[in-house]
Amino acid sequence: MSALPTLLWLEFRKSQSFVAVLAGILLLTAVGLARLGANPLNQPEEEAIALFSVAATVGSTLLVVALFLSARQDGTGLLPSVPGGLVHQLARFVYWGVLGTLFALVLTGLLWAYFDRVVPGMPGLSSTMTLLFYGLGLFWLPGVAYLLLAFSYVQSYQLSRLGWLAGLVAFLGFFSLAGALVQVGSKVAYAALPPLTLSLQSLNNRLDDIRLPLEPLLLSLLLAVGLLLLAGRVWDEVEA
C-alpha cells in the first residue's frame, strides 16, 4: 500500500490533458450560465438545464475515454518494486472515482447557484449535494469498478485488433449493469434499513420530502468492492 501515492500521481500525470479539458468544460459552463442570467429575454430554466446536460454528457464521455486509456499497464518503471494488481486497481478506482465526483460536484454546484438566483425557494445546497452523492454512490462508483475490470480485461488480453471497438462493447455492458442495479435495488429498497430523508422546501412547498432507501446504495458499494477485487485478479493473472 506504500506505492499507492505514487500510483495516484502516475494516474494524474497520464491524465493531465483530460483534467484540463474537464476544467475547461466547467469554466465554459460557468460563463454560459452567467450570460443566461444577464439576458432577460432567455428562458433561463430550459437553457440552463440544456447547458448542464451537454456539459455532463461531454464530461462523462471524456472520463470514460480517459479511464480506457488508463487501463494500459504502464508507468510502473518508476516504482522500486511492482505492487500487486489490487493496489494498481485501487489507485485507479480512487483517482477516477474522486475525479468524476469532483467534476459532478462543481457542475451541480454551478447549476444550483444559477437556479438559486433565478428561481425562488430552491432547495438547500446540502440537500442537493446529498442527492448527488447518493446517485454517485449508486451508479458512478460501481461503474468505475466495472469499467476498470472490463477495460483491463480488454487491454490485457487483446480481444480485438481494434482495441477501441472491444472497449466500446465493454462500455455498453455498463448499461446492463445499471439496469440490473435498478431492478435488484427496487426489490430490496426499504427492506431493512431506515431511509435517508431529504427535506425539499422548494417552489412554494410543492415538492414533498424524498425518502432514499439505503439498501440499493449498500448493494452498489458491495458490488464495487467485488468488481475491484476481480479487476485486481485480472492484473495479477496477466503479470504472472
Backbone angles phi, psi at 195, to 5 degrees: -75, 160
Asked whether residue 95 carries a pLDDT value surpassing 80, the answer given is yes
Q: What is the mean pLDDT of the chain?
A: 79
What value does the mean pLDDT take over residues 15-38? 89
Per the structure, the count of domains in the chain is: 1
- pLDDT for residue 78: 47
- pLDDT for res 199: 64
Q: Of how many residues is the chain composed? A: 240
Count of beta carbons in the 10 Å neighbourhood of residue 90: 21
Range of the domain at 102: 4-239
Q: What pLDDT, in 10s, does the model give residues 136-181?
A: 998 899 989 988 888 777 766 665 555 566 666 677 777 777 777 7
Q: Is pLDDT at 30 greater than 90 in this prediction?
A: yes
3-16: burial string, b at 16+ Cβ within 10 Å, e else: beebbbebbeebbe
Q: For residue 177, what is its C-alpha cell?
A: 449493469
**Contact of 110 with 33, CB cutoff 8 Å:** yes
Identify the pLDDT of residue 58: 94
pLDDT surpasses 80 at 16: yes
Whether the per-residue pLDDT at 106 is higher than 50: the answer is yes
Amino acid 18: pLDDT: 92
What is the average pLDDT across 75-93? 70
Share of the chain above pLDDT 70, in %: 77
Q: What is the pLDDT of residue 235?
A: 78
129 class by beta-carbon count within 10 Å (0-12 exposed, 13-18 middle, 19+ buried): middle
Categorize the per-residue pLDDT at 210 as very low, low, confident or very high, splitting at 50, 70 and 90: confident
Radius of gyration of the CA atoms of the chain, in A:
20
Q: Between vectors from CA 188 to CA 182 and to CA 194, what angle results, nearest 5°?
A: 115
- Between 176 and 129, where is the model more confident? 129
Percent of the chain with pLDDT strictly greater than 90: 27
Which of 187, 95, 101 is closest to 139 using CA atoms?
Answer: 101
The mean pLDDT of 211-226, rounded to a whole number, is: 87
**Can you give the pTM of this predicted structure?**
0.84
